[in-house]
Amino acid sequence: MNDVGSGTFGLVQRHLKAVVAERLKEAPVVVLTGARTVGKSTLMAACADAHGVPVFDLDDPQQLEMVRRDPTLFVTADMRRPVCIDEFQHELSLLSAIKAQLNREMTAGRYLLTGSTRYTMLPSTSQSLTGRAHIMTMWPLSQGELVGRRETALDQLITDPRTLVSAFPSTTQRRDYERLILAGGFPVALTRPTGDPRDRWFADFINLVIQRDVLDIRKVRQRQVIPEILRHLAAQTAQVLNNSTVANALELEAHLVGDLITLLESVFVVHRLHAFGRTLSARVGRSPKVHLVDSGLAAYLLRINETRLAARVPTTMTEFGHVVETFAVNELLKQAGWSEEIIDFSHFRTRDGHEVDLVMEARDGRIAGVEVKAASKITDQDFRGLRLLRDKIGSDFVGGVLLNLGQYSYTYDDRLYVVPLDRLWTPIT
């Protein structure tokens, strides 16, 4: 089991506090959004303590009732700053009250909010802080955060992927990778022993998200089908999203399934990785990929565990390969929260099957690509997508990396490299 004791959380918290502090110097409102239990409330409590201000917790029924009856009272100009409101999505009238205050005084650092609902997917009438708020997405813990280390792999990839190559082999073994990927990064889940205790936590998490957060957004008559849709999305993780496949399997209308998938995306259970947007050729596919927000959650829904992996059943190994890709993609998206660069993420896929699992594009046009393989043996075919992307992009392509579960890193071809997966969080020494 991963060590997620108080010392580790302390290291994580100090780093994130610094990021939030910088954003509060720039924006009137900072909104921390992300799935339940990723640590938003813990981070807010630490920030509030540093400023000597209280936290208004709208998960508390009594405090929620107070805010509902008089939202303006909790956002007025004479409140100590920043005003800290946890789980703001339970009372969206607060956003209009905050906007009214900002119309009178637009200064930085006035409000710090957390929410378990994606801000851009709130009803349009509730998005009153657009242009006034900086939105930060909090993910489950990254592998570096779990050991108190700030990762730089994303910056290295977009600047010079060659810096991830080393003559010294990785010491991470396949069983180590399997353990990390099956565990995921939800802080509370990591405190539970593997097996039934952790599985029960994931089951409770799904039930809470559907019964509380989804219904905060919309009253869904057929909410009993949402867990089944989620299981089908787990089976599609790291693959091109196909609403019709899910709809046909559950004998539901495709538009209803699409609507419910959007709701699951709204509460940070899944996310879409859109197709790469540069004009490469008419062959480039335009459909997004879907990823679950956490590899541990995906493994739970697919019933993948160490025992089944040890048996090497082909269907299980195929499913695990997709979970490995989701794990790697999510690790890099997490690093965007503290990256020196502003990065756009996408995937690249042509109609004849050439693909790159993750494409990263900097604001100045630099592009890097990552392909993920749940194996240690590399073949030339594994580089088809990266080669095509390199040749089409030209000089803007800084490099492509094939991440795998092996131990060695080396240059494979012009601006193409083989790199162990753990280079994403383990610096070269």
> Does the structure show a pLDDT above 70 at 3?
no
User: In the prediction, which pLDDT does 127 show?
Assistant: 67
Q: Are 229 and 220 a contacting pair, CB within 8 Å?
A: no
User: In the prediction, which pLDDT does 283 show?
Assistant: 45
3-state secondary structure of 103: helix
| Helices 295-302 and 196-208, packing angle to 10 deg | 100
> Does the structure show a pLDDT above 70 at 84?
yes
Helical ranges in 59-159 per DSSP H: 61-69, 93-104, 143-146, 153-159
User: In the prediction, which pLDDT does 353 show?
Assistant: 83
Average pLDDT over the chain, rounded to an integer:
90
Structure tokens at 116: 């378990």
409 dihedral zone (left: phi>0; alpha: psi -120 to 50; beta): beta
pLDDT digits 0-9 by tens, 140-187: 999 998 888 889 999 999 999 999 999 999 999 999 999 999 999 999
Q: Are 80 and 52 a contacting pair, CB within 8 Å?
A: yes
Q: Determine the residue type at 93.
A: S
- How far is 18 from 32, CA to CA, in rounded Å? 14
- How far is 38 from 140, CA to CA, in rounded Å? 5
Q: Are 149 and 409 a contacting pair, CB within 8 Å?
A: no
- How far is 387 from 414, CA to CA, in rounded Å? 9
User: In the prediction, which pLDDT does 15 show?
Assistant: 63
Which of the two residues, 79 and 343, has the higher pLDDT score?
A: 343
pLDDT digits 0-9 by tens, 97-116: 999 999 998 999 999 999 98
pLDDT digits 0-9 by tens, 367-387: 999 999 998 889 999 999 999
Average pLDDT over residues 338-364: 92
Average pLDDT over residues 217-235: 86
User: In the prediction, which pLDDT does 124 show?
Assistant: 64
User: In the prediction, which pLDDT does 177 show?
Assistant: 97
Tell me the sheet residues that pair with 284. 350
Task: Give the strands of the sheet with 83-86, arranged side by side.
Answer: 55-57, 83-86, 111-115, 29-34, 133-138
Tell me the sheet residues that pair with 137. 33
User: In the prediction, which pLDDT does 355 show?
Assistant: 94
pLDDT digits 0-9 by tens, 227-244: 999 999 999 999 999 899
Decide the pairing of beta strands 270-273 and 289-292. antiparallel
Q: Which residues contact 339 (CB under 8 A, 6 or more apart)?
A: 154, 155
The CA angle 27-93-123, to the nearest 5 degrees, is: 85
Task: Give the strands of the sheet with 289-292, arranged side by side.
Answer: 239-240, 289-292, 270-273
Average pLDDT over residues 92-101: 90
User: In the prediction, which pLDDT does 284 show?
Assistant: 57
Q: Determine the residue type at 274.
A: H
